[in-house]
């Protein structure tokens, strides 16, 4: 069984920052790609960012490039999403995700079908 627990969401104003955390309880965590997706009400789940198991490769959606940074601390089984310059369009539930196999790359994680498990989500609301 896989447990992914997100935290760090909240209500902020445009231009503010938030740092999301995802703590994983999963065997071989240190060998699995991790990612973040988001979903607003009535919209499809959208890829945000992903990181390779070593942390050496990161991938970002065009909508967040230059503003968001994904990182991980394998010693703590935790992946982070630093979100700067937040916009109202960033408002969504943010979900942590783990790749299906040891061969799942950061680039693979742009495809939700390559995700093994999802966290419960943490809400980010950016006021207008």
When pLDDT is averaged across residues 119-128 and rounded to a whole number, the result is 95
Smallest CA-to-CA distance from 95 within 28, 16, 5, 27 is with 5
For the CA atoms of 88, 66, 23, 28, what is the dihedral angle to 10 degrees? Answer: 140
Rounded CA Rg of the chain: 13
| Predicted local distance difference test score (pLDDT) of residue 1 | 67
Tens of pLDDT, residue by residue over 14-69, are: 999 999 999 998 776 678 999 999 999 999 999 999 999 989 999 999 999 999 99
Tens of pLDDT, residue by residue over 89-108, are: 999 999 999 999 989 999 99
Q: What is the number of other CB atoms lying within 10 angstroms of the CB of residue 79?
A: 30
| Predicted local distance difference test score (pLDDT) of residue 26 | 72
| Predicted local distance difference test score (pLDDT) of residue 128 | 82
| Predicted local distance difference test score (pLDDT) of residue 22 | 96
| Predicted local distance difference test score (pLDDT) of residue 111 | 94
| Residues with Cβ within 8 Å of residue 121, at least 6 apart in sequence | 6, 39, 93, 94, 95
């Amino acid at each position: 069984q896989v447990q992914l627990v997100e935290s760090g969401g909240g209500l902020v104003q445009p231009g503010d920052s938030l740092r999301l955390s995802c703590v994983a309880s999963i065997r071989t965590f240190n060998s699995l790609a991790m990612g973040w997706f988001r979903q607003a009400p009535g919209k499809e789940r959208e890829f945000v960012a992903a990181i390779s198991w070593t942390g050496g490769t990161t991938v970002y959606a065009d909508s967040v490039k230059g503003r968001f940074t994904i990182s991980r601390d394998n010693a703590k089984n935790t992946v982070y999403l630093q979100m700067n310059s937040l916009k109202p369009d960033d408002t969504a539930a943010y979900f942590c995700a783990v790749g299906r196999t040891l061969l799942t790359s950061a680039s693979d994680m742009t495809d939700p079908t390559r995700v093994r498990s999802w966290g419960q989500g943490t809400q980010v609301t950016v006021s207008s």
